Amino acid sequence: MEFREIRCSRLRFVVGLVLCCTIIKEVSASIHEYRNEAFIPRSDGFFFHGGSEGLYASKVHDSSSSSSPDKPLQGKSFIRFEDVTFVRTKEAASKQNEMQQNTGLIEAIIFEVKDREKIGGAFLKLNAICCHPAVAQTGSCMLGEVIIQKDQDNPEWPKRIQTSFAGKNEETKMKPETVEINSTGMYYLYFMFCNPDLKGTLIKGRTVWKNPNGYLPGKMTPLMTFYGIMSLAYLALGLIWFLKFVQYWKDVIQLHYHITAVIALGMCETAVWYFEYANFNSTGLRPMGVTLWAVTSRTVKKTLSRLLLLVVSMGYGVVKPTLGGLTSRVVLLGLIYFIASEALELVEHLGNINDLSKKTELFLVLPVAFLDSCFIVWIFSSLSKTLEKLQMRRNMAKLDLYRKFTNSLAVFVLLSIAWIGFELYFNATDPLSELWQVAWIIPAFWTLLAYSLLVVICVLWAPSPNPTRYAYLEEAGEDFDEEGISLTSSVDMTTKLERKGLGEDLEEDKRE
């Protein structure tokens, strides 16, 4: 069961479920789209974040293919600029000399995150980003360009690609170029300019980022293999459960159908995610239909998993035949959780992979966290009541079953809390994603934890030839051993209950 799945590190810019359809017009991924977006002033320059991804080094090196974006680049890792165009204001263009060739310089700068201090004048003990006359006289940079300290071992890095406006032209277009990546790392792309006359300039076009084995971003690459393995694990669990289900189909209870549904949803979810990542890896785009199906299947499974934990904790099908008046509350909580979780998953997986502003990230994570807390409190309070009721009735077999379930659940909750703490620490100590190669374990842990808890429930509530071990019966009191009770008519059972003074408990269950 996915009991606690708050993934704080993977939140995206969102203002709510109502805005999802307007924000997500096109599903983008390793293809970073720029749609007439503005540059942001910073220090003495202007910049635009063009993307950031973990990239593995190319497996093959052939410079002849890098100049042609049309050729297949199998085994190569690269960043390719396609139709990147800069548009300055009419006012800025009118100020220029019509006969002048370079009337405004814009630079695309690619660097590894470990080399971030080489961008700007930090290595010169300056706060400036742009080269000023005093600095240019030292020979450290060219006037009007971004200050960059070249790598002594690789003078071409950080990579600088320059594009200039000509005369009074309002637009200028970058030449198509493919930058090959020969060193594994987290790469950032910034478009920057220093000329204040270019204020108000917009950027449009796109860049394509590719790893040697496909377009899947580096920190997501292991997840494709992981979901493939998990889909096989769910398939194995489903086969074992199906065999037990068929073997004792005459003795199954309603709870077994709920468990079957969760297993089936788990199989569907992991398989769809595997194919979604595989398609993403081969095309560089996330297909809207497949991703929507994957996101929705995950949300449905998460919701039903929590509801299953809740109704089991309430003793449904074991201590009481129905939930009574609590049914509407359980359904309402599940519906609200589905809506909140679906909104979070949609903007997380259908938006651009770039990390956007986190000022509004609490918009969706807080409701999900609050609802998860509600599930926790309700589950453990229900378990407490169920254990107390079983102890009063001296139903030792069921009491032992629920104690095992409570202990297992407590262990999983403690693991969840510990992992949340680790996740917060991980993100606090790695704000620039320098540990991107191991970041995949954060979401993978929750999927693995959910699967493990589902296995525990399947073991505890497995179909058996003696359903009285956990199935609801009109309890016969402490003088009757549950393991030996046979299915009798409700009239005979009610008579025995009245004889033992347990009729009130039965009526209480029915009222609930």
Mean pLDDT, range 493-498, rounded to an integer: 42
What band does 1 get if pLDDT is binned at 50, 70 and 90? very low
Lowest mean pLDDT among 58-62, 128-132, 223-227, 450-454: 58-62
The least confident of 18-22, 252-256, 360-364 is 18-22
pLDDT for the residue numbered 85: 92
Report residue 353's pLDDT band, with 50, 70 and 90 as the boundaries. Answer: very low
**CA 74 to the chain's CA centroid:** 28
Rounded to 10°, the helix 441-460/396-429 angle is 180
**Amino acid (one-letter) located at 399:** L
- Under DSSP, the state recorded for 376 is H
- Whether the per-residue pLDDT at 11 is higher than 70: the answer is no
Tell me the β-bridge partners of 187.
53, 112
Give residue 280's pLDDT.
Answer: 85
In the prediction, which pLDDT does 123 show? 65
- The CA distance from 189 to 231, in Å, is 36
Query: pLDDT by residue (tens digit) across 467-493?
Result: 555 555 544 443 333 333 333 333 344
Q: Counting every residue, how long is the chain?
A: 512
Say yes or no to pLDDT of 228 above 90: yes
Residues 6+ away with beta carbon under 8 Å from 410: none
Phi, psi of 70 (to 5 degrees): -85, -20
238 conformational bin, left if phi > 0, alpha if psi -120 to 50, beta if neither? alpha
Longest dimension (CA), the chain: 108
Mean pLDDT of 33-58: 88
**DSSP assigned state of 207:** E
Among 248, 258, 366, which residue's Cα sits nearest to residue 311?
258
Provide the percentage of residues in the chain whose pLDDT is more than 70. Answer: 76
pLDDT at residue 194 above 80?
Answer: yes
pLDDT in the model for residue 242: 92
H helices present in 127-283, as ranges: 133-136, 221-247, 254-283
Query: Tokens 């496909």 map to which residue?
Result: 214
3-state SS, residue 81: strand
Q: State the virtual CA torsion across 439, 442, 443, 446 in degrees, nearest 10.
A: 160
Percent above pLDDT 90 for the chain: 13
C-alpha distance from residue 109 to each of 13, 115, 192 (Å): 25, 12, 8
Residue that has been written with the tokens 């199998």 in this structure: 74
Domains of the chain, first to last? 26-59+74-210 (2.60.120), 218-466 (1.20.1070)
| CA torsion through residues 28, 31, 35, 39, sign | positive
Flag whether pLDDT at 39 surpasses 60: yes
Token pair in block for residue 434: 């320098």
Examine the pLDDT at 216 and tell me if it is beyond 90: no
* Residue that wins the pLDDT comparison between 24 and 406: 406
User: pLDDT class for 8, splitting at 50, 70, 90?
Assistant: very low
The first and second tokens of residue 471, run together, are 């199935």
Identify whether the C-beta of residue 130 lies closer than 8 Å to the C-beta of residue 148: no
pLDDT digits (tens, 9 = 90+) for 60-119: 665 444 444 444 567 788 999 999 999 988 888 888 877 788 888 898 999 888 888 888
Confidence of residue 375 (pLDDT cuts 50, 70, 90): confident
User: How many angstroms separate the CA atoms of 207 and 494, rounded?
Assistant: 74
Mean pLDDT confidence for 446-460: 90
Residue 10 above 90 pLDDT? no
State mean pLDDT over 152-156. Answer: 77
CA–CA separation, 115 vs 414, rounded Å?
39
Q: Tell me: the pLDDT tens digits for 237-270?
A: 999 999 988 888 877 777 788 889 889 989 998 9
Closest CA to 191 of 356, 88, 47, 38: 47
Is residue 455 very low, low, confident or very high in pLDDT (cuts 50, 70, 90)?
A: very high
C-alpha distances in Å from residue 387, one per residue of 350, 381, 384, 407 = 44, 10, 5, 12
Residue 467: predicted pLDDT: 54
Is residue 297's pLDDT more than 50?
yes
Measured between alpha carbons, how far is residue 351 from residues 181, 253, 322 in Å?
A: 25, 42, 42
- Is the per-residue pLDDT at 12 higher than 60? no
Least confident of 135-144, 323-332, 344-353: 344-353
pLDDT of residue 445 exceeding 70: yes
Higher pLDDT, 32 or 284: 32
Query: Quick one: pLDDT at residue 25?
Result: 33
Strand, coil or helix: 459:
helix
Question: Residue 152: what pLDDT?
Answer: 75
Residue 330: what pLDDT? 83
Bridge partner list, 204: 85
